[in-house]
């Protein structure tokens, strides 16, 4: 390993690429344009970007478009948008389909050199033969026969459609990935870029090492579930006499209570269990960004995973805890008082303040006491304020509490309904009181007036979509769907929240971090709770 050129990341281990030369490293991120990117793709994309930057090299974004059944131009656009949400921009965008001509002639070269043969063995039988190390009946067909069948495949004739092309590696290698993998197959659907020019398409196993080699990739980052296929990858370049590429593998990312498969995510969208691909409950790049995960925290988290080979399901807590460290120093502070709780109707509690100002007074206060760059907000003082029912209930008779950004006050009297709801409170200001001696620091808002209105808001929180930490291969997702995953609370907030732009991070003090999600259909401003790593994703 080239220690001199490696670097320390947050975890303290050394993250570098073997044989990397400054200015000469080329990496690539090869998404298939068949869906939206998720947090697993983010890991691959960020590691590729990291190494390209670290060695002042180049990052290729390559659309791996070899299967017209699943791929569209629209998905290419959304993937590029997803990447820009991650602050990732390749130095160049390419397509595997750019190389279809080259790949095709290399397939012919493989046939002519006796390194590939056509096969019409039924799929089930082929799987069986591969499992048991049995040679295909066509393994020793002549080069002429193979060329003839490949021509039939290329024309997609009824005869050709029955065949595929296999690399001639091994019949019975203990590594089953080396047992004559399929390298070309027919597909008669039009391709979103090459139209109906081709009826035969290379497989990933064939195209990837070749295109990596042609494009000058020096280090191919792959998830380690492909490790068995690494010798196969090398075989392809060797068989064709083209430049070999260094493989650097890392573990596939998984999270508890989370599905990271495009197919399964599609189902949640199609059945309306989520509202779309950018739903804050989704592990898509759009979903996690909308939920308030910063690019900075994502990057830190992914680099910390670095070259780890452990295939485990990670907790969400640690990534949200990192995120909190990123947003806490910058998130402006606002106040909100809950009107209707998640489970019960809560009554907002009006409080009269004896000794308060007779007319409303407005003061400018910092939005963040430790970060004045966050700007100022207006706080309205009056003798009629509102507080949370939960706070009101906790007050003892004559208790001294602190009204934040104001001073101490003593609870003089409290009116309670038969069902235990606090209906109103009277307090007396006690500004000489020491805020260090009170147990409770209370957020409050002045009763709204036409001059100083409050803003109706909705606070949203979410639970995991599935009830099982890790779904097994045979589990039916339908048996593990969380019945209710969205929780809404109605609240009123200070008018300063009007300054926020969609996507801004902020804190409702004593309630948590939120990301402003714009105006809801009911006209209320919507705020999505950002998990802080203490009870990540669990609606508490």
Q: Which of residues 4-33 bind Mg ion (CB under 5 A)?
A: 32
Q: Which does 129 bind (CB under 5 to 8 A by kind): ligand ATP, Mg ion, none?
A: none
Work out whether 249 is an interface residue with ligand ATP (CB under 6 A). Answer: no
Here the tokens at position 363 are 């003061």
Return the number of the residue (80 or 253) whose C-beta is nearest ligand ATP: 253
- Single out the residue of 9, 20, 25, 30 in contact with ligand ATP (rule: CB under 6 A): 30
A 10 A CB-CB count for 280 gives 25
Taking CB within 5 to 8 Å according to partner kind, which of ligand ATP, Mg ion, none is near residue 262?
ligand ATP
**44 is a site residue for ligand ATP (CB under 6 A):** yes
Q: Does 299 engage in binding with ligand ATP (CB under 6 A)?
A: no
Contacts with Mg ion: how many residues (CB under 5 A)? 1
Out of 16, 25, 41, 290, which residue is the one contacting ligand ATP (CB under 6 A)?
A: 41
How many other CB atoms are there within 10 angstroms of residue 114's CB atom?
A: 12
Of 243, 455, 467, nearest in space to 335 by CA:
455
Q: Does 253 bind ligand ATP (CB under 6 A)?
A: yes
| Least separation in angstroms between CB 223 and ligand ATP | 4
Interface of this chain with Mg ion, residues 163 to 222, rule: CB under 5 A: none
Least distance from Mg ion to the Cβ atom of residue 76, Å: 15
Q: Which is nearer to ligand ATP, 62 or 166 (CB)?
A: 62
CB of 305 to ligand ATP, least distance (A): 9
CA distances to 120, 407, 436 from 355, in Å: 92, 12, 21
Partner touching 239 among Mg ion, ligand ATP, none, CB below 5 to 8 Å by kind: none
Is 266 a binder of ligand ATP (CB under 6 A)? Answer: no
Catalytic residue among 5, 162, 176, 262: 262
Whether 252 sits among the annotated catalytic residues: the reply is yes
Nearest CB to ligand ATP, comparing residues 221 and 460: 221
Consecutive H or E run containing 341? none
Contact partner at residue 43 from Mg ion, ligand ATP, none, CB < 5 to 8 Å by partner kind: ligand ATP
Q: Which of 27, 43, 291, 500 binds ligand ATP (CB under 6 A)?
A: 43
* Residue 262 is a binding residue for ligand ATP (CB under 6 A): yes
Q: How far apart are CA 171 and CA 247, in angstroms?
A: 25
Beta bridge partners of 377: 365
- Packing angle between helix 230-240 and helix 204-214, nearest 10 degrees? 60
User: Angle CA(436)–CA(439)–CA(440) in degrees, nearest 5?
Assistant: 105
- The answer to whether 84 touches 45, Cβ cutoff 8 Å, is no
φ and ψ of 297, to 5 deg: -65, -40
| Cα distances (angstroms) measured from residue 410 to each of 128, 383, 400, 433, 468 | 81, 14, 4, 9, 48
- Pairing type for strands 441-442 and 400-403 reads parallel
Instruction: Select which of 70, 176, 227, 252 is catalytic.
Output: 252
- Least distance to Mg ion from the beta carbon of 96, Å? 11
Residue closer to Mg ion, measured from CB, 100 or 226: 226
Q: Between 32 and 315, whose beta carbon lies closer to Mg ion?
A: 32
Least CB distance to Mg ion at residue 191 (A): 17
Nearer to ligand ATP, 32 or 426 (CB): 32
Q: Which of 252, 325, 468, 510 binds ligand ATP (CB under 6 A)?
A: 252
CA distance 321 to 304: 14
User: Between 188 and 313, whose beta carbon lies closer to ligand ATP?
Assistant: 313
| Smallest gap from residue 18 Cβ to ligand ATP (A) | 19
Interface with ligand ATP includes 70 (CB under 6 A)? no
193 binds, among Mg ion, ligand ATP, none (CB under 5 to 8 A by kind): none
Nearest Cα to Cα of residue 99 among 215, 244, 181, 205? 215
Q: CA angle, corner 335, sides to 429 and 367, nearest 5? A: 100
Q: Which H, E and C letters describe 255-306, residue by residue?
A: ECCCCCCHHHHHHHHHCCCCCCCCCCCCCEHHHHHHCCCCHHHHHHHHHHHC
Measured between alpha carbons, how far apart are the two ends of the chain, in Å?
47
Q: Which of 113, 261, 271, 415 binds ligand ATP (CB under 6 A)?
A: 261
Task: Report the residue number whose CB is nearest to ligand ATP.
Answer: 40
Number of residues this chain uses to bind ligand ATP (CB under 6 A): 15
- ∠ CA 104-108-112 to the nearest 5 degrees? 165
Active site residue 262: yes
Its sign, for the CA torsion 57, 58, 59, 60, is negative
- And the tokens for 344? 């019960």
Question: How many helices (H) and strands (E) would you count in the chain?
Answer: 12, 29
Q: Closest distance between Mg ion and the C-beta of residue 6, in Å? A: 29
The greatest distance separating any two alpha carbons of the chain, rounded to the nearest whole angstrom, comes to 101
- Which residue, 310 or 359, has its beta carbon nearer to ligand ATP? 310
Nearer CB in complex with Mg ion: 42/497: 42
What is the distance between the alpha carbons of residues 468 and 479, in angstroms, rounded to a whole number? Answer: 9
Catalytic residue list contains 263:
no
Residues that bind ligand ATP in the complex, under the rule CB under 6 A: 30-32, 40-41, 43-44, 64, 222-223, 252-253, 260-262
Residues that bind Mg ion in the complex, under the rule CB under 5 A: 32
Which amino acids are annotated catalytic? 32, 252, 262
């Amino acid at each position: 390993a080239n220690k001199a050129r490696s670097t320390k990341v947050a975890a303290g281990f050394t993250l570098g690429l073997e044989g990397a030369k400054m200015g000469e490293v080329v990496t690539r991120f090869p998404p298939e344009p068949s869906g939206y990117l998720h947090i697993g793709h983010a890991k691959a994309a960020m590691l590729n970007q990291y190494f390209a930057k670290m060695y002042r090299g180049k990052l290729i974004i390559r659309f791996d478009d070899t299967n017209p059944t699943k791929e569209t131009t629209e998905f290419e656009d959304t993937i590029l948008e997803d990447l820009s949400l991650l602050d990732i921009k390749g130095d160049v965008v390419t397509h595997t389909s750019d190389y279809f001509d080259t790949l095709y002639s290399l397939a012919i070269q493989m046939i002519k050199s006796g390194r590939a043969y056509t096969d019409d063995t039924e799929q089930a039988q082929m799987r069986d033969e591969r499992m048991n190390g049995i040679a295909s009946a066509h393994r020793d067909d002549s080069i002429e026969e193979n060329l003839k069948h490949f021509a039939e495949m290329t024309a997609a004739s009824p005869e050709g459609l029955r065949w595929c092309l296999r690399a001639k590696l091994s019949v019975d290698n203990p590594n089953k990935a080396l047992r004559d993998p399929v390298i070309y197959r027919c597909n008669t659907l039009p391709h979103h870029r090459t139209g109906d020019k081709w009826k035969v398409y290379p497989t990933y196993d064939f195209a990837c090492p070749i295109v990596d080699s042609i494009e000058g990739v020096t280090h191919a980052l792959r998830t380690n579930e492909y490790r068995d296929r690494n010798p196969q990858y090398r075989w392809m370049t060797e068989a064709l006499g083209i430049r070999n590429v260094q493989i650097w593998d890392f573990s596939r990312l998984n999270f508890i209570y989370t599905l990271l498969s495009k197919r399964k995510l599609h189902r949640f969208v199609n059945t309306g269990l989520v509202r779309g691909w950018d739903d804050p409950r989704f592990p898509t790049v759009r979903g996690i960004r909308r939920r308030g995960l910063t690019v900075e925290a994502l990057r830190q988290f992914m680099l910390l995973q670095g070259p780890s080979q452990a295939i485990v399901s990670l907790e969400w807590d640690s990534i949200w805890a990192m995120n909190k460290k990123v947003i806490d120093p910058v998130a402006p502070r606002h106040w909100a008082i809950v009107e209707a709780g998640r489970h019960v109707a809560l009554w907002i509690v009006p409080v009269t303040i004896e000794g308060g100002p007779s007319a409303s007074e407005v003061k400018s206060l910092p939005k963040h006491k430790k970060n004045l760059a966050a700007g100022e907000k207006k706080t309205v003082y009056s003798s009629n304020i509102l507080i949370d029912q939960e706070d009101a209930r906790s007050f003892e008779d004559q208790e001294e509490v602190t009204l934040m950004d104001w001073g101490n006050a003593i609870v003089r009297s409290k009116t309670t309904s038969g069902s235990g709801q606090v209906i109103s409170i009277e307090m007396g200001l006690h500004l000489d009181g020491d805020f260090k001696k009170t147990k409770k620091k209370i957020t409050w808002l002045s009763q709204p007036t036409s001059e100083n209105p409050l803003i109706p808001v909705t606070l949203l929180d979410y639970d995991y979509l599935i009830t099982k930490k890790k779904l097994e291969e045979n589990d039916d997702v339908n048996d593990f769907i969380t019945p209710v995953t969205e929780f809404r609370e109605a609240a009123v907030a200070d008018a300063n929240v009007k300054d926020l732009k969609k996507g801004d991070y902020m804190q409702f003090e004593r309630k948590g971090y939120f990301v402003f999600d714009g105006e809801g259909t009911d006209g209320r401003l919507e705020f999505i709770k950002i998990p802080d790593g203490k009870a990540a994703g669990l609606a508490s």
